[in-house]
Amino acid sequence: MKLGTQLVIIFTLIIVSTVGTIGFLFFRTVEAIQFDRLRETLTAYAASAAMLIDGDRHALLAGPSAMSSPYYRELRDRLRLFMRIDPRIAEMYTMARSAKPGFYVFVVDASPPRDKDGDGVISETEKPAELGEEYDISALPEMRKAFDAPIADLKVNKDKWGWWLSAYAPVYDSRGKAVGIVGLDVSADTIRQQQTSLKRLILAISAVFLALGLIAANIYAYRLTRPLRAMVAAAREIGKGNYEHRMTDAPRNEIGFLAGTMNSMAENIRRSFDKLSTLNRTANILASTLDSEQALRISLNLALEVTRSSRGVIFLLDRTDRRIDLAISEGIEGLRLDGGGFRVGETRIPVALEEDREAQVRRWCEATGCTQSLPLMVKDTLRGYFLLNPEIHDEEYLNTLMQQVAFAIDNARLFHDAITDGLTGLFLKRYLEMQLDIEARRALRNGRDMTLMMIDIDHFKKVNDTYGHLQGDAVLREVARALKACVRDVDVVARWGGEEMAMIFPDTGLAQARAIAERILGEVGGKKFPCEAGVLAVTVSIGIFTLRGGTALAPEEAIRRADEALYRAKKGGRNRAEAWEEA
């Protein structure tokens, strides 16, 4: 087969596959956009309809007799009128929560009885829902969130009335409480009709582009035939390993230039792309965390992967920028900080920065078996050192990578400083309040218990008055360490103020909370604090409040109840834990 014919066939296949792929992707993209716009429109409709409903009066509609009430008929007629806004809206209704978990109940179904299948009989699936009729929402995640905010289904769902795309919005009473939802449905047939129209339009456009592409392919193949023969022959020689082969009849145009440079250009592009891809991946990964230790660990693993190093260590300077106070390593056995230095096996090296820092860093490299050191700089300020034994030695590339690492570590440190107490290292009160709100919402949504504890150091004022505030600060730090030793990674420990601290325990019931409280009492009570008079012992009092899963409660009320339990613990003799119990 002639080269020209082959090119025509190849270009034809490329054009057909390209146009087909682009048409398919374009269809899917436009279809997704169209679907999202429909969801947004339906959500806006639902929110607008919810504003037309009197939540107080809606909450009073209960029992079959309410269907004959004036407000029931008024609301049904109002919803039917609202459906005329958009002919795509097939159904509208309101619902309320059911006492049965996983179910809502219909209140007003504005859909009139219709013989949809034309058989002359109104079947059960063609009748509107009765007041109080239960509706299973267990398989409808968006509908379960409808009491919180306007929302639409992410996909078409099926029930006994058919296939629908639905949107919902909460109905609020005069106190701002969601007492019901309003929902509206669009039939899947309507969505399919829109998709069919879109598909026909895209097919027509694709056909036009396909025809134009085939014409252009024939013209282009004819023009390329002669010089491409030489390029095919050269590629064959290079494929055989004859890298000295040269094209003797290459034309003096773009094709000739391509024949001479495509190999070297492709290699350079590949290398550059790999570097940029790695830097971009590094930036994205590091930007995803604000935890200092996690940022260090991610940074170290990325650097080892990029430079093909078998070992590495990050030394991070303290706030005085005069000594190392944190070391994260990989591939180095036995490395640990030890007082004023660090050890690798039996070798101990000081970590306080010396005048001759280059010589000091060389000693660090020798001790750890690393061959290269890179400074971690942020705005011309030294933050630490990165030691590696890389196989890849690209200084500019490595420096760019280290700059990203340094900024990520600095951002994590700044975030940590912003939310923690400088004396105890615990989270600040404001951070705990935000986390309490999040966990309370999660407990309501997931139906899992959550516990809040308020802890107060007994007779702490006497400690300050007798032994001084420095001793009091030491007691606060040790009590904070004891509390952190009793919690999981998901728990939150904060300094509430003065000698009072607070703790959040997600997914923790009252029985578990009591056990944790007893452990805290033992951990704190078992500590001995050296002081001028000998040994000082302190105790704490604990107030416990457990929020039952699925219960809505303001964070302020949870704090009040934990405080009330703490007051009872102090009144009952201190060095004890009391749980709030509803009277």
Active site residues: 499
Angle CA 392–397–398, to nearest 5: 70
Residues in the chain: 583
Angle CA 22–25–26, to nearest 5: 80
CA separation (Å) from 401 to 329, 391, 394, 571? 18, 15, 11, 59
Give the Cα separation of 564 and 67 in Å (integer).
46
Listed residue (440, 438, 470, 463) closest to 550, CA to CA: 440
CA separation (Å) from 535 to 95, 425, 475? 66, 24, 12
Give the Cα separation of 569 and 113 in Å (integer).
63
Residue type, 78: R
Exposed e or buried b per residue across 370-394, where buried means at least 16 C-beta atoms within 10 angstroms of its C-beta: bebbbebbbeeeebbbbbbbbeeee
> What are the two backbone dihedrals, phi and then psi, of residue 553, each rounded to the nearest 5 degrees?
-155, 135
Q: SS3 for 376?
A: strand
Give the Cα separation of 295 and 413 in Å (integer).
10
Q: SS3 for 64?
A: helix
- Other residues' Cβ atoms within 10 Å of the Cβ of residue 456: 22
